[in-house]
Amino acid sequence: MIPVIRRDRSGQSSGSSESLSSSTGKVEREKFTDVVGNHRYQVNNLLDKLFKPREPSIIVKEACAMVGRELQYHVDTYNCEHFAIEMRYGKAESRQFNGKPGDLIEINRGPYKQWAVYIGENEVVHFGTEGVQSSGSSESLSSSKGKVKCEKFTDVVGNHRYQVNNLLDKTFEPREPSIIVKEACEMVGRELQYDLVKYSCEHFAIEMRYGKAESLQVCI
């Protein structure tokens, strides 16, 4: 038997449209075969390279102790993936992503932000200088050469928090997703002058979505 977290009303997975709003979920203990049913599955200790897993005995003990608990369930802040990862590593994380092609992704790297354009199929296009990912790092304060890259969404995000943030949708009309994706992909491999004030990763991402290079970040 294994503990799983389910929503009270539907029991659906965290990626379903019904689970986008917050509701109450419950931790249950069930047979592995009953949970899997006729669906495909795999063992995926997805964060073992980032975090040290806790001792198996501790994982099992704490998971079993949670059985019967009712928790607030939300696809973004605490879903079944958050629960499973918290049991294994001691911290609630999620690598699920419900963004759409053309969305802007804001990645929180401590005091600084990195921006990327989601193009679908777990890939993003982003702009930065070699070895410097955050637009506000001290190395990027002075102008230098930067390059536009296409990489896996999960590789770019790493273990940092992120969110979809189409921050200027109320100010400018976004371009069609197909145009955003097409132009972002055409920029891959291009070397551009990188400057925190004049053209950073945020300028690039906003330019792809709205057709004009803007930045709302403040240089302190």
For 134-188, the pLDDT digits (tens) are 444 444 445 689 999 999 888 898 878 889 999 999 999 999 999 999 999 999 9
Lowest mean pLDDT among 17-21, 68-72, 196-200: 17-21
Q: What domains does the chain contain, in order, with CATH numbers?
A: 2-89 (3.90.1720.10), 104-210 (3.90.1720.10)
pLDDT over 90 at 4, yes or no: no
42 phi and psi, to 5 degrees? -155, 155
Q: Which DSSP string corresponds to 77-113? A: TB-HHHHHHHHHHSS---------TT-EEEEEETTEE
Among 167, 126, 168, CA closest to 146: 126
* pLDDT score of 219: 42
How far apart CA 145 and CA 143 sit, in angstroms, is 7
125 by Cβ neighbours in 10 Å (0-12 / 13-18 / 19+) ranks as buried
Helix axes 80-89, 56-66, angle to 10 degrees: 140
Contact criterion met (CB below 8 Å) for 139 and 129 = yes
pLDDT of residue 15: 41
* pTM (two decimals): 0.60
